[in-house]
Amino acid sequence: MAEDKKETEKIARCAMCADMCKYSCPTYLATGRETLTPQKMARLIVYSGKGFLEDEDGFFALMFQSAMCGACKRHCIYGDYDLRRFIQEARVKAFARGIIPQDVKQRVEIFKKFGNPHGEREVVDKGKGETGYFISCSSYKDKDLLKAADKVLAESGLKVRQFGGGDICCGAPLYYAGDMEGFYKASLRTKGEIEKRRLRKIIVDCPTCLKMMTETYREVGLNLEVELIHTTQFIGTLLQQGKFNIKKANRIVTFHDPCILANDLNITNAPREIITSLGYTLKEPVYSQEHTHCCGAAYGAKIGDHRLKDAATSMRMKELRDTAADVYVTACPTCKSVLSGINMKYITELVAERIVAQR
Ligand code: SF4
Ligand code: SF4
């Protein structure tokens, strides 16, 4: 109860705030729409709680227009506050009342039928060992990424069991749709798949999957009891240990920080260390590391109202293109696919290209 009161005080404080964090909110920057700034969202959430809003449908539609990227948490003048918690609560209410955007509804239906957000897929299960490599729904269809992962894993000399596809999914699409019951079921299924394979450590290439499997699963009372790391942490350690025979590159790379990787998982150094250790010269866009902007995937790919996606994607592509790099790289398979307009690569591909086979 005391906890609830504290949280209510925080959102009331946010609703009255000077709102300077809006200059880090990609939704606002890409659209210029004041209603979508963190403070205005907070004000509407407070008004909705008091029953002051006449247009409930409009309110809930707005709640699906946040990228849930965490820039407002990162740049909040109060260190103990995350507006997304309240946006998520509103989405849960919207889902319970059946007032969710049409494309979100469709994605949930596909998920309920196939156990993943993209429709029919086969389960991938190859390799052996107590270390797993989780193939996320976005990597599943990315042949270049999967090929690069195969090469890096083979050259590492480690035993790694790759798994994913079918109905093995972290459940993020259901979470962001506000379907907490469905999300809990998906998280239980994932836990079962991990336990079945007796894995002790899992490498995850998608920042959202990693956030779900750690932070969000714990919030719903589920602990996976395995060590979970991001691909960049895994590859970074192998490079430090000198596990690969690397042919150095001498081109210019710009790295795009995936919003969840930078804002929620605090991973910004590992990818940069990988890039420079391959010999590349690293260039930074104006907004990078904790100032990064969402690529736009969060609106559509993770479930939300995707009408904003194109505006956010164009803005981010321009910021990256302005660096005039030779190669653009990221560490999220969804960012890679959304930013394909600038020929984006996933970081494992960059590493695989520089490895000279040892055996
Ligand atoms: S998120 Fe923080 S900085 Fe932004 S409007 Fe709310 S209280 Fe102010
Ligand atoms: S989560 Fe991102 S898009 Fe949503 S209000 Fe915060 S900064 Fe804006």
Question: Can you spell out the DSSP letters for 18-38?
Answer: --GGGGG-HHHHHH--GGGSH
Distance CA 355, CA 358 (A): 9
Is residue 118 in some structural domain? no
**Ligand showing the shortest atom-to-Cα distance for residue 70:** 2
- How much is the average pLDDT of 102-127? 89
What is the residue with the minimal CA distance to atom 1 of ligand 2? Answer: 68
pLDDT tens for 194-222 read: 999 999 999 999 999 999 999 999 999 99
Please tell me whether residues 240 and 348 are part of one structural domain: yes
pLDDT for 359 equals 57
What is the residue with the minimal CA distance to atom 3 of ligand 1? Answer: 76
User: Does 84 contact ligand 2 (Cβ within 6 A)?
Assistant: yes
Angle of CA points 285, 23, 70, to nearest 5°: 80
Q: Which atom of ligand 1 is nearest to the CA of 10?
A: 7
The band of 305, judged by pLDDT with boundaries at 50, 70 and 90, is low
Please tell me whether residues 346 and 241 are part of one structural domain: yes
pLDDT for 232 equals 98
Domain housing 162: 123-234
Q: How many whole angstroms from 74 Cα to the centroid of ligand 1?
A: 10
Is residue 275 in some structural domain? yes
Please tell me whether residues 247 and 348 are part of one structural domain: yes
Please tell me whether residues 228 and 243 are part of one structural domain: no
pLDDT tens for 230-247 read: 999 999 999 999 999 999
Q: Considering Cα of 324, then 326, then 330, then 334, what sign does the dihedral take?
A: positive
Is residue 313 in some structural domain? yes
Please list every protein residue whose CB sits less than 6 Å from any atom of ligand 1: 13-14, 17, 19, 21, 38-39, 42, 72, 76-78, 81, 83
Is residue 82 in some structural domain? yes
pLDDT for 157 equals 93
Is residue 279 in some structural domain? yes
Report whether pLDDT(1) > 90.
no
**Ligand showing the shortest atom-to-Cα distance for residue 28:** 2
* Number of domains the chain contains: 3
Please tell me whether residues 162 and 193 are part of one structural domain: yes
Is residue 36 in some structural domain? yes
Report whether pLDDT(30) > 80.
yes
Report whether pLDDT(94) > 80.
yes
Domain stops at, among 100, 134, 166: 100
Please tell me whether residues 182 and 258 are part of one structural domain: no
User: Which helix (H) or strand (E) element contains residue 97?
Assistant: helix 84-97
> In this prediction, what percent of the chain has a pLDDT beyond 70?
96
Q: Is 80 exposed, middle or buried (0-12, 13-18, 19+ CB in 10 A)?
A: exposed
Is residue 110 in some structural domain? no
pLDDT for 190 equals 94
Eight-state DSSP code of residue 285: -
Which CATH number is 63's domain given? 1.10.1060.10
